[in-house]
Amino acid sequence: MAAMKHFGMNVASDAVFPSVYIGATGGLVYVCADDPGMNSSGTEPDSRHFAPHMKMPMLEPADSQECKDFTKRAFELSEQFDTPFMLRTTVRVNHGSSIVTLEDRVEVPVKHYERDIMKNTNIPALARNKHKTVEERLVRLQEFSNETDLNRVELHDTKIGVICAGICYQYAREVFGDGASYLKLGFTYPMPDRKIREFAAQVDKLYVLEELDPFIEDYVRGLGIECTGKAVLPLYLEYSADIIRRALGLPGVSAAYEAPVQAPVRPASFCAGCPHRGIYHEISKYNGKIVATGDIGCYALNINPPFSVTHTQIDMGGSITAGHGFERVERFAQRGLKVFSFIGDSTFFHSGITGLINAVYNGAKTSIFILDNSTTGMTGHQDNPVTGVTLMKDVTTAVDIKTLVLGCGVKPENVRTVDPYDLKATAAVVKEAYEAEDLFVVIVRQPCALLKSVIAHRKGQHCRVNADKCRSCKVCINKTACPALTVGENGVSISTEDCNGCTICQQICPFGAIEKEGE
């Protein structure tokens, strides 16, 4: 099983496509989690389209029980039909929790392996015949889709019929209850054409409820069946029972409880003690003189004040490649803008190395900042190759970023390593990067402030404000946006619970009013 969100499926598709032609001797399942509403994503594509695009069967669970059961079924069906299966979920199903019924684990022996180039290689001469096999398999899968209990009909009031899948089944039940009948699809590709026709013939009015694209609706209409869906429902963001009620012109439901006050809006910012704060404080002094291409990670928060540095954020690894493109344009435009590119350590290992090699090979003159905070901070503090620890917490070889950068061909005299807590040293390195006339790489190294090892090491360390020296100018707050700093009736203060003694505010204070305590 390989699990990923929609962005991951985009990247993995290069391998997933040929795996459908090869098939799966044992079970092979791709879990793809979509993010309607873009809760933690830059786009909200509908990954269901991968199923017909790749000709790969797909299951969609609607709750925690089905997530468990459908995963097991996906492995069984994958082996039965000799094809990978896609298990597509969405954010609300993934983030939900509910009681599940467990079953005894079934141990499946490892399959016998033997060399079989007819099956396991996709050279053109062999792949041509496999395409025919794939199409014949889809015919069998559609017949299975019509028969399986993964697609079930719930008949109640037949004035209204609802076809739905995944979380929209839960919303539909909340909206209509037993006042409608349901065709709940769990096996959504190939879709059950016969079962859809039979269900549609039993109801007076048919709705298709689905988030994002009209994937099911288009198929139903293709069968010549009239239905209501995206004509009234939005093509974007997450649904809710209330959104569906309003779209269908149904009366709303009063909230059971309303909060007496609204929580204040809190703009996203770097954590207290975040090492990214130091590097972006110094780089922000060059705003207006640089084009800054960003990447995917916590450091993307530098787009906000007071730093306001990054111009672009596209995809993982896009900072180096987009920066290379910008720099080529700058040679023609001669606007006098230097190109800075920012990428985290884990993102660099994931998608940045090929971009760096391309930049070296093609003579780019950008300055690349690799922000090594020794973790994958934005998605859960997973280890990465720089930490020397695997995801299973086994000790392994740590990959040294500097050695790797040099191995990619960057000249040794154009590589620097700096501690972003040291603003003076950081300012000097940023100046070098700005003035560099060749490809320049800066490794910004300081571990994430939220790592348990860092918290333990810095226990008892924090900064404090000397009230006698403080002029309440708020430069420390305005220049760092550190959440440990607050201002009240008695002036600026620092939360010792949040502060880890990074001293960035101390170095910025123009009156020497901030002092560090603890070692």
Q: Are strands 152-154 and 85-90 parallel, antiparallel or unpaired?
A: unpaired
Give SS3 for 423: helix
CB 27 within 8 A of CB 75: yes
Residue 232 has, within 13 A of its CA and on its CB side, a CA count of 14
Which of 216, 162, 161 lies closest to 193, judged by CA?
216
What distance in Å separates the CA atoms of residue 378 and residue 489, rounded to the nearest whole number?
35
CB 277 within 8 A of CB 485: no
Residue 482 annotated as lining a ligand binding site:
yes
CB 203 within 8 A of CB 161: yes
What distance in Å separates the CA atoms of residue 171 and residue 178, rounded to the nearest whole number?
13
Residue 476 annotated as lining a ligand binding site:
yes
Task: Tell me the Ramachandran region of residue 395: left when phi exceeds 0, alpha when psi lies from -120 to 50, beta otherwise.
Answer: beta
Residue 168 annotated as lining a ligand binding site:
no
CB 344 within 8 A of CB 322: no
Give the angle 103-109-111 at the CA atoms, nearest 5°: 135
What distance in Å separates the CA atoms of residue 95 and residue 102, rounded to the nearest whole number?
20
What distance in Å separates the CA atoms of residue 222 and residue 314, rounded to the nearest whole number?
35
**In this structure, what token pair is assigned to residue 465?**
């404000």
Residue 505 annotated as lining a ligand binding site:
yes
Residue 449 has, within 13 A of its CA and on its CB side, a CA count of 23
Give SS3 for 416: strand
Per the listing, tokens 């090929």 go with 354
Q: Are strands 485-488 and 491-494 parallel, antiparallel or unpaired?
A: antiparallel
Residue 71 has, within 13 A of its CA and on its CB side, a CA count of 13
What distance in Å separates the CA atoms of residue 231 and residue 474, rounded to the nearest whole number?
53
Residue 448 annotated as lining a ligand binding site:
no
CB 455 within 8 A of CB 500: yes
Residue 473 annotated as lining a ligand binding site:
yes
Known binding residues are: 470, 473, 476, 482, 499, 502, 505, 509
Known binding residues for [4Fe-4S] cluster are: 470, 473, 476, 482, 499, 502, 505, 509
